[in-house]
Structure 1
Amino acid sequence: MEKRVLLAVVLSVMVIIIFNYLYVKFIPSPQPTKISQNQSNNIEIKKEEPLKKEIKPEEIKISQVSSEELKNYILISPQYEVSITSLGARFNKFQLKNYSKEKNKKEPVNLISSPSEGLPLEIYLSSAPEVAVINYKGPEKNIFSLENATSQTISFLGSYKNITLEKTFTFKRNSYFIDLSFRISNQGNEVIKDGILLRGVFSPLVDGTKYVFKGPFYYTDHLNEIKLKKDLEDYTGNLKYLGYEDTYFMVALIPQNMGNATYRATFRNIDKNTQEFILWLPPFELKPN
């Protein structure tokens, strides 16, 4: 049997008009997902063994790389239009069709609010932050539509040293929820012990009142808004989801199929108006194929 580590997450983008009301109505506390026997055979997580070398969040710098074969992939939905760059298979545009940045202007809200600091969603190894920006190979077709379909899947393949990586996005018509699966397989001869990090960087998506919280958050059995009083905040414990919110919109990352795992989340100020969140998944051990 092929040995691989499988990371399954759901990236949800919720359009929120009256935050306190819709948050309770549309984002209830998710229940832990039961892992089947087949799923557990594919996931090898060593909670008790720390990483040999753990990079502190404040030391992580995503290096920029160039490629002659960079491509953009466009998906058009009734609710939004997105663009995914092959560089890291990350969103470089996520425009909401039904919402404008200002009442009297037609410019749509773009959820990619800090492109110079990082494009969501960066996924990389704890020992190799440069994995976040490797160039992935996508499908031959580069324009997709949900106008006459219920869902659309777009897959990307990449490689780094002795590992292969696969990112698969599944978009659903009439929904702001996006399924994202991330697979790693070990093509070398040595066991890999590492960790997977998921990083998002955001600033306020629209102008709004200064009296409403704007910034990162995480959800346990209640909402925890991170009001960063220092450069870095660190949380370890049970975690249902985390993300970024502003006056009217939020982006939330919801891990699935990981049982009752304990997560680590870090939150950092990039500058006065820009914050970063990182979800640290439990360390894994990946055997050769």
Structure 2
Amino acid sequence: MKKDSDMEMRALLAVVASLLILLAFNTWYAKRYAPSTSPKSRPQASSPARKEARPETPLPLKERRSSPSPSLLRVEVLPVETELFSAQMTEAGGRFLSFRLKNYREDKGPKAPLVELVSAPKQGLPIEVYPAGHPELAVRPVKGEPRALRLTDAERGKILFRPQGTSPLSLERVFSFSAKSYLFHLEVKVTNPGEKPVQDRLLFRIVGAPFSRSTRYVFKGPAYMDGKKLEEIKLKKPGSFREYAGPVSWVAYEDAYFILALLPEDRKGPWRLTFRRLERDTDEVILWSPEFTLSPGASKTFRLAAYFGPKRMEDLKAVGRGLPKALHFGFFDPVAKPLLWCLKFFHRYVGNYGLAIILLTFLVRIIFWPLNHLSYKSMKKMQEIQPIIQRLREKYQDDPQRLQQELMQVYRTYKINPFSGCLPMLIQIPVFFALYKVLLQAIELRHAPFWAWIDDLSAPDRLPVGFDIPYLHGLPVLTILMGISMYVQQKLSPTSLDPTQARLMLIMPVFFTVLFVNFPSGLVLYWLTNNLLSIVQQVMINKLHAR
């Protein structure tokens, strides 16, 4: 192998490096978020505020983690209807039996079921509220008034659940809803009906499992914000337990697109959080109130808000309290959020996210046009001096150091930067990865159609052909077009006289086509459009150079 390489080999290495980064990135995310089945999984890192431990007080009754008992099936169900969701609340503890989002469906198509946020009913219904010393009160029958709640326009309404019978502590729950918000409020009044003082904590429990089908590369599980930073709790195997004590802005269970979040009114607390993996992809989140003491006949009221809905930035910002940080794109967040903003901006005018991606590609190309132009000119000059470089290689093939010195002298003489051809691709790598993350996590692009067979930009493109294609289940037409465009782009680009390098560059379109076959169609559309614009720019440069 030759000791030195010309501009095309450097560009090839840049492409390969970017692909290796992409593959490493995917592997890292898969290992980071996929549940572990090994009993020797790495222990969780400990910190002063969060440690491996067992809860000091009992958790809810085991029967609420299995099929409902007959007594629970006989209680009344109260419907709650707003413009955004349709819910059902049970008088067995004033919990949600169902919480369906009217604007989101589990799959493509108008007949697909609505997204259900009560995703693990056998493990527990949200929001379970009970004293730590009396977990049975989480399912104690209560009386709800009114018997149904239907809100439209700007209406607001409440459902009051009054305790029935006698118990060591009396819990009165009030849920307040708004017709046009996923945010609702919960007020719990704890009363001591006994003759002795009672010391206890109030627990708010939710259980979550993924609400929708999403890639394994996106985090799914408990998360909280302590007022400054976001923490994602990665529980691996059933029984894994984590704990935190301190200020809490919000605590939640989330997946790629949806979130169940609790927001205590008093952020400082001191609050305590416990997280437990109950089974594969099912986690328990408990918010523990500060400890309180009630004398006989005394009462204390706890207030918190809850957000059950999509991780849509406009809705999260309307809530505030740091909840917008629930929508984040990891390392590429500083690039991904401006890209998402641009996509939504273009969508307002064209009404199609596929067209918005095309316009975004135009914008990126315009921004990098001067740099790309400089790169293409440099590659053209490199092509012109290939005979000189070839003679130097033959002359100094046994003296690599002298060869390098002579090559650098040639570059200086002809005013060529040997690295300029790599810069456009290297600079666009963050844009590529950021758009990849946006397509995986932005709910606006979930099930977003483009044209013809491309009915979901967040999924791979597949054209049904009437028969099964092994491993593909359809023809990836857009991906094939992308590979063809890359081949045309390579044929138009300046090439060296080295046949080995030329053959390597011709392999790249095939490699990219195979790599992209299971990528989101929106990402393939971006790359295809980028290739077409590169072809146009290269043709323009070739014509200018020919004059």
Shift of 1:240: 1.1
Match in the other structure for 2:83: 78
CA distance in 2, matches of 1:180, 1:280: 15
Pairwise CA distance, 1:142? 2.0
Deviation at 1:95, TM superposition (A): 0.5
2:113 — aligned with what? 107
Query: Which amino acid letter does the alignment assign opposite residue 158 of structure 1?
Result: P
Which moved further from structure 2: 141-150 or 88-97? Answer: 141-150
| 1:233 aligned residue | 242
Return the alpha-carbon distance in structure 1 between the equivalents of residues 85 and 107 of structure 2.
17
Contact 2:105–2:115 (8 Å) recurs in 1 = yes
Change (3 A) 1:128 1:215: same
* Structure 1 partner of 2:150: 145
Alignment of 1:287 with 2:295, yes or no, is yes
AA partner of residue 101 (structure 2): L
Same amino acid, percent of matched pairs: 36
- Look up the equivalent residue of 1:179 and give its one-letter code: H
Corresponding residue to 1:156 among 161, 167, 176 = 161
Moved more, 160-169 or 171-180: 160-169
Consecutive unaligned residues of structure 2, counting only runs of 5 or more, are 1-54, 298-547
Q: CA deviation at 1:164?
A: 2.1
1:183 aligns with 2:192: no
Task: Quote the Cα distance in structure 1 between the aligned partners of 2:134 and 2:101.
Answer: 33
Q: Does the Cα contact within 8 Å between 2:154 and 2:180 map onto a contact in 1?
A: no
SS of residue matched to 2:138? helix
1:78/1:226 Cα in 2 relative to 1: closer, same or farther (>3 Å)? Answer: same
Q: Aligned equivalents of 1:143 and 1:153: distance in 2?
A: 10
Tell me if structure 1 keeps the 8 A contact 2:93–2:139. yes
Q: State the SS of the aligned residue for 1:206.
A: coil
Distance 1:150 1:62 in 2: 39
Within a 5 Å distance, the mapping from 1:175-214 to structure 2 comes to 175-214=181-220
Which residue in the other structure is 2:129 paired with? 123
The runs of 5 or more residues in structure 1 that have no matched partner are 1-52
Distance 1:275 1:259, change over 3 A: closer
1:235 and 1:264 in contact (8 A); partners too? yes
1:144: how far off? Answer: 1.8
Say which of 277, 281, 305 aligns to 1:273. Answer: 281
Match in the other structure for 1:61:
61
What SS does structure 1 have at the residue aligned with 2:142?
Answer: coil
Equivalences for residues 168-179 of structure 1 within 5 A: 168-179=174-185
Counterpart CA distance in 2 for 1:204 and 1:67 is 25
Q: Does 1:222 align with 2:229?
A: yes
Following the alignment from structure 2 to structure 1, what is the Cα–Cα distance between the partners of residues 249 and 152?
Answer: 32
Aligned-residue offset at 1:143: 2.2
Whether the aligned pair in 1 keeps the contact of 2:247 and 2:267 (CA below 8 Å) is: no
- Equivalent-residue separation in structure 1 for 2:79 and 2:154 (angstroms): 15
Shift of the 275–149 alpha-carbon distance from structure 1 to 2, 3 Å rule, reads same
User: For residue 92 of structure 1, what is the aligned residue in structure 2?
Assistant: 97
Greater alpha carbon shift after TM alignment, 99-108 vs 70-79: 99-108
Q: Pick the aligned partner of 1:245 from 254, 263, 272.
A: 254
* Residues matched between the structures, number: 233
Match of 2:343 in 1: none
Specify the structure having the higher radius of gyration (Cα): 2
Q: TM-score, normalised by structure 2?
A: 0.41
**For the residues of structure 2 that align with 1:122 and 1:163, how far apart are their CA atoms?**
15
Residue 264 of structure 1: aligned partner? 272
Residue of structure 1 in register with 2:529 after alignment? none
Q: State the Cα distance separating 1:115 from its structure 2 match.
A: 0.4
After TM superposition, the score normalised by the length of structure 1 is 0.76
Q: 1:54 to 1:227 in 2, by over 3 A?
A: closer
Letter in 2 for 1:222: K
Query: How far apart, in 1, do the equivalents of 2:280 and 2:72 lie?
Result: 32
Give the drift of 1:193. Answer: 0.7
Whole-angstrom CA distance in 2 between matches of 1:274 and 1:97: 24
Q: In the aligned structure 2, how far is the partner of 1:111 from the partner of 1:260?
A: 28
Higher strand share: 1
The one-letter code matched in structure 2 to 1:246 is D
**Alignment partner, residue 255 of structure 1:** 264
| Structure 1 residue 85 displacement after superposition | 0.3
Does structure 2 conserve the Cα–Cα contact (< 8 Å) formed by 1:83 and 1:91? yes
Q: Give the letter for the 1:214 counterpart.
A: K
Counterparts in 2 of 1:95 and 1:67: CA distance versus 1, 3 Å: closer
Superposition misfits of 4+ residues, deviation over 6 angstroms:
none
Q: How much does 1:163 deviate? A: 2.9
Describe the SS at the equivalent of 1:138. strand
Match of 2:316 in 1: none
Deviations 1:111-152 (A, max 9, x none): 00000100000011111111111000112x422210255101
Indicate the SS of the match to 1:113.
coil
